[in-house]
Amino acid sequence: LQEVQALSLQAAQLLLSRGAKAIVIACNTATSAAATLLRERYPAVPIIGTEPALKPAVERHPGGHILVMATEMTIHEEKFHHLQEQFETKARVDSIPCPGLMEFVERGIFQGKEVEDYLRAHLSPHLHPSVDAVVLGCTHYPFLRGAIRQVVGEKPEILDGAAGIARQTKRRLLEQALANPREAGGQVTFLNSLDDPAIFARCETLLAL
């Protein structure tokens, strides 16, 4: 926990030193560990966190059966327990820890036997006909959506929180008069602590740049 908090503070300090006017913590684990700390440290800066898209899943499938895939740390965080408690009377929610799954994305493995074998081993015990939705509770997991669909079948809806995070970011920028009114395109800058060219190339591939 302390390591995640320290790394999150370092990242925020770097981004703000480069002129960032808002920060999105694009990680459920880092949000749980460090969002409150960052908001206390930088009260004037919009700090937008992420959380598994459990609320929209329950709204779309009231009384349904919902699986939440997430990292072990996210699932064990108090923040996730509170989130799950909010909806435990409105749907059946099963959380599935997926240790090592995000590393497939970081290694550039998005489909194929290795990742599908992993998914079957972790998801198959939970894949009952009653499952209505699968929530991707890590921001790495949407890149594995195709492989996840292969394993869970056609019935369950697969949800992630990306659109909600984008809407929240836009709303916060507008509220604080920080939105850029120009219509011209901007630019994307990648920063990585390893400074590894392969990582930058993978980021460009993942973001279709």
Which candidate in 27, 47, 73, 105 is catalytic? 27
19 with 8, same domain: the answer is: yes
Q: What is the CATH number of the domain that holds 98?
A: 3.40.50.1860
The answer to whether residue 149 sits within a structural domain is: yes
Same domain flag for 27 and 92: no
* Residue 206 is assigned to a structural domain of this protein: no
Phi and psi at 129, nearest 5°, equal -60, -20
- Pick the catalytic residue: 23, 93, 138, 165? 138
pLDDT of amino acid 208: 85
CA distance 139 to 135: 11
Q: Which amino acid is at 74?
A: T
Residue 82 lies in a domain: yes
Do 65 and 134 fall into the same domain? Answer: yes
State whether 131 and 97 are in the same domain: yes
Is 41 in the same domain as 118? Answer: no
* Whether residues 61 and 34 fall in one domain: no
Establish if 194 belongs to a structural domain.
Answer: no
pLDDT tens per residue across all 209 residues of the chain:
899 999 999 999 999 999 999 999 999 989 989 999 999 999 999 999 999 999 999 999 999 999 999 999 899 989 999 999 999 899 999 999 999 999 999 999 999 999 999 999 999 999 999 999 999 999 999 999 999 999 999 999 999 999 999 999 999 999 999 999 888 888 899 998 888 888 899 899 888 88
Residue 204 maps to a domain: no
CB 7 within 8 A of CB 36: no
Whether residues 125 and 150 share a domain: the answer is yes
- The answer to whether residues 65 and 100 belong to one domain is yes
Q: Does 138 qualify as catalytic in the annotation?
A: yes
- 63, 150: one domain: yes
Do 15 and 189 meet the contact criterion of CB atoms below 8 Å apart? no
1, exposed or middle or buried, with CB in 10 Å at 0-12, 13-18, 19+?
A: exposed
| Residue type at 191 in one-letter notation | L
Is residue 193 one of the residues assigned to a domain? no
Residues 38 and 70 reside in one and the same domain: no
- Domain shared by 148 and 85, yes or no: yes
| C-alpha dihedral (198, 201, 202, 207), degrees to nearest 10 | 160
Give the per-residue pLDDT at 195.
82
Asked if 105 and 132 sit in the same domain, the reply is yes
Query: Which two tokens mark 141?
Result: 């997991």
Give the distance from CA 147 to its chain's centroid.
17
Structural domain for 92, as ranges: 54-160
The answer to whether residue 188 is domain-embedded is no
Instruction: Report how many domains make up the chain.
Output: 2
Cα separation, 133 vs 153, whole angstroms: 11
Tokens 């560990």, residue? 33
Strands (E), 58-198: 65-70, 92-97, 131-136, 157-159
Task: Give the model's pLDDT for residue 194.
Answer: 86
What is the C-alpha separation between 117 and 163, in angstroms, rounded? Answer: 29
DSSP-derived 3-state class of residue 13: helix
Residue 12 in any domain: the answer is yes
pLDDT at 111: 95
